[in-house]
A and B are shown apart, each in its own frame.
Chain A
């Protein structure tokens, strides 16, 4: 456990091992692999948001000499008509397959229908026109209100709402209902002196990773097929593709390329199984890439939401009850992050009486995917806005109000466990002491503050560390590095082995060279894979002691290993790690450490953000003039990358709050499928995001690490929303705070 400890490497700001190749253009990303004989795949996508496919005839395309293979839904042996007829279909894969290639019905603009592989990219695109397809266009369902109304067209005739008190009797666009409670909600509100109740909504947003999805695959009849792609979890790509194509895991090797951002959006498959079908049919390597428009229209954005929040408190600031009704859009297929949204909504508060009800709603938009703390930004936005409004009504400072009600060690969560040691109070105190919070609020500026909670996860990680005869080494891990984690792995191993971090080369191995690793997600990598690295390094230390003992003719217990040097406790002898490696040949062969773990005890991370916004009252334009992100990292292994996570989360949250949103026509056509009109913040739009790292160690990690990747996107929505509300003197209930919306609020107040 990590009481105040002196570290040699941990906490330093080393140069990241992958940085040089990235900034010099040498790093290989998803679209960078080309192979001899390779052909190109292209996808025919639906021009409609909701339609039955009444005709799909590929015979003209098939007859084209440039076309080498065609794929449709019927090429998924796990779920196709034959599997259904034979009763061999894999039930869990139907939605996944239908999302990758539509089955008789298209459910969103851009939904993939069929794929063609041809000798060139241009030929593949041209051949798409040879597919004869006809649609019966249906009315699209584009909002939660519409989806749950009695008149709404039903997207899936077999979808019955799960989780109702009485089993559903007819099909619905609500796939599931969830209820969580604690205490007596009615008594809680009866005890309140002041109650705030308000409805909030947030738009569909995209992670906005800079690298579009891309893959190059080779089907191999006689050995493992190869899939190269940018992904947060190549082991899960392998599993999904194997399930869809009825292959064994050993028949597929997935290589994770360098990845240009994921944020949760690269945790599923779109192109990979299609490319493998095309490769199998053509006998050629196949490459496929999405355009930016495809990425917006047909990858996995984050849920739009509607939240009804009610919070009651006594005049002394004690919150007596909190209640939420949360609706999440899942997109075309069930499975929004409604669950985590319900679980996190009120977790920053230690309150007796809680009630949360959530609904998962399908609409004619792309199936959502994870996005940094999936589900939490939407629900916690609503809760934090209401809490700020309530604090104001009572006349309490928002930090004092939160400190009075803050979740802490022993707080009973609504979803089950009691919290262990957590850092919310420490973050609030750090916010209170921050230069930002103590600076006067400039004229025409509003200030907002909000907290955020995310669980973080542990899970399975596997690591091998190989030492070379000269004492350098390789850390073989299986967690794709989306945020600088290789640097952290290097530092943690170096700390245990007592060597320079740069002497250890961390690599993200393919699925054949290291055992299973869970996806990089849930802020798990530095925590869980870090634990595996530490365990593998400790395994090496034991071997180093045994080897030194053999060289000194003593027992391993008579050897101490410290700061990279073995000491003979029976004499004065010393051997460095490099000395021992150099003699490994004589002491039993080369040295490798290994760890295969299922990490438990991930520590939640709380954050508090402070935002100052200036509003141009004649145009509704917002300008973030100051921003501070405070978050508990447990222990920051590499402070620069921890700060980077805080800042990146803050920036994405600011974008979500200010200008990002999917704009659909009434027919369900996405009208802003590009970075020109899907407005993520630019560098010039933002001030320096001040990052304050709070360290309340997580006792379950050898160095005290808590995951930091996700929490940072949660507080900005309400910090920004509250700042805008303060600046314009009007409540904010709908994101984004885009200028037309803000101007309308300003004009209506006049």
Chain B
């Protein structure tokens, strides 16, 4: 018979305790928009589902002096409605807004998107360019891991079996810094990125790029930072040559596969186009502030 045990702990301690003592395979449930689909067809397996949404703070997003502390289970719908976040991280909000449909966004969360660790996850490149840090709670305490180190493979992240992602820390960007995220899908919505690119740029008062980060998705086993693309932007006024150089760097860094969604050649080329376009959008955003 189907044996599925469901727990919704109301404290971190209780949650970590459950994770560490479970004898059956454990699945952490946040919005469930990936998990429930993955559990279809596995109905005969015994398993424990730990719903973390009721733990205080898991669905909040609060500013400290220097950071935004994002609860990993906050729904994308709540997240994308937050004007205060939209103003500071428009690219990250864009990425959250691209996930699934309106209905899916009512459940889906950024923490879930991150822990599911799909190569094509929309929010991960945007978290990377914003220097997000994963706050992790285990039985023996907490640790901090940069988002680019959090992911270790297709569908794999570095959480140990007793660990839980309890927060995503986003440093407040320096002045005149803006981000943007673009993905390619053959249609207009309800699809999975064939390639994605996030860019964050900092411009000085003369429009010269003083800092930049570029991350690309769906073109390698995990989303990756592309320092060479960022370097191509830094020190320039983001003119066509600089944008083309950044595009070429992203294409170069990409290590895609051919599958039902796109070919190697296509993904490699398009991730460069997205990099270029996202950089332009981010720079335009700085100008608009």
Contact = CB atoms under 8 A, between A and B. Distances in A.
Interface of A: 122, 125-126, 618-621, 658-659, 663, 671-672, 676-677, 679, 681-682, 684-685, 738-740, 743-744, 747
B273 interface: yes
B187 A681 contact: yes
25 contacts: A122-B2, A122-B43, A122-B44, A125-B43, A619-B270, A621-B184, A621-B186, A677-B192, A679-B187, A681-B187, A682-B188, A682-B190, A684-B187, A684-B188, A685-B188, A738-B186, A739-B184, A739-B186, A739-B194, A739-B266, A739-B270, A740-B263, A740-B266, A743-B266, A743-B270
Interface string B190-227: 11101000000000000000000000000000000000
Contacts of A740: 262-263, 265-266
Interface in B118-149: none
Interface string B25-61: 0000000000000000001100000000000000000
B77 to A, nearest CB: 18
A56 to B, nearest CB: 23
A663 B262 CA distance: 11
A125 to B, nearest CB: 8
B261 interface: yes
Contacts, number: 56
Contacts of B273: 618-619
Nearest to A621: B186
A619 B263 contact: no
Nearest to A658: B186
Given A676-B191, A677-B260, A743-B266, 12 more contacts: A122-B44, A126-B44, A620-B266, A671-B260, A682-B187, A739-B186, A739-B194, A739-B270, A740-B262, A744-B265, A744-B266, A747-B269
B269 A743 contact: yes
B259 A671 contact: yes
Identify which of B259, B260, B262 gathers the most chain A CB atoms within 10 Å of its CB: B260
Contacts of B261: 677
B189 interface: yes
B224 to A, nearest CB: 21
A618 B266 CA distance: 10
A533 to B, nearest CB: 40
Contact of B191 (A620, A671, A679): A679
Contacts of A659: 186-187
Identify which of A619, A658, A743 gathers the most chain B CB atoms within 10 Å of its CB: A619
Contacts of B260: 663, 671-672, 677
B82 to A, nearest CB: 24
B186 A679 contact: yes
A677 B188 CA distance: 13
A205 to B, nearest CB: 15
Interface in B156-196: 184, 186-192, 194
A619 B187 contact: no
Nearest to B190: A682
B145 to A, nearest CB: 30
Nearest to A664: B260
A82 B266 CA distance: 55
A97 B107 CA distance: 45
A684 B189 CA distance: 8
Nearest to A126: B44
A735 to B, nearest CB: 14
A685 B185 CA distance: 11
In the A-B complex, the 5 residue pairs with the smallest Cβ-Cβ separation, listed nearest first, are A740-B266, A684-B188, A663-B260, A618-B273, A672-B260
A658 B186 CA distance: 9
Contacts of A743: 266, 269-270
Contacts of A671: 259-260
Nearest to B188: A684
Contacts of A125: 43
B189 to A, nearest CB: 5
A126 B187 CA distance: 37
B174 to A, nearest CB: 31
Nearest to B267: A740
Contacts of A619: 184, 270, 273
A676 B192 contact: yes
Contacts of B263: 740
B117 to A, nearest CB: 18
B137 to A, nearest CB: 33
Contacts of B259: 671
A163 B152 CA distance: 60
Identify which of A125, A621, A684 gathers the most chain B CB atoms within 10 Å of its CB: A621
Given A126-B44, A663-B260, A682 B265 contact: no
A618 to B, nearest CB: 5
B265 A685 contact: no
B159 to A, nearest CB: 26
B212 to A, nearest CB: 21
A681 B190 CA distance: 11
Nearest to A736: B186
Interface in B231-289: 259-263, 265-266, 269-270, 273
Nearest to A680: B187
A690 to B, nearest CB: 20
Contacts of A677: 192, 260-261
Contacts of B266: 620, 739-740, 743-744
Nearest to A659: B186
Nearest to A129: B44
A662 to B, nearest CB: 10
Contacts of B269: 743, 747
B226 to A, nearest CB: 18
Contacts of B43: 122, 125
Contacts of B262: 739-740
Contacts of A658: 186
Identify which of B186, B188, B269 gathers the most chain A CB atoms within 10 Å of its CB: B186
Nearest to A681: B187
Nearest to A670: B260
A671 B266 CA distance: 19
Contacts of A672: 260
A443 B281 CA distance: 23
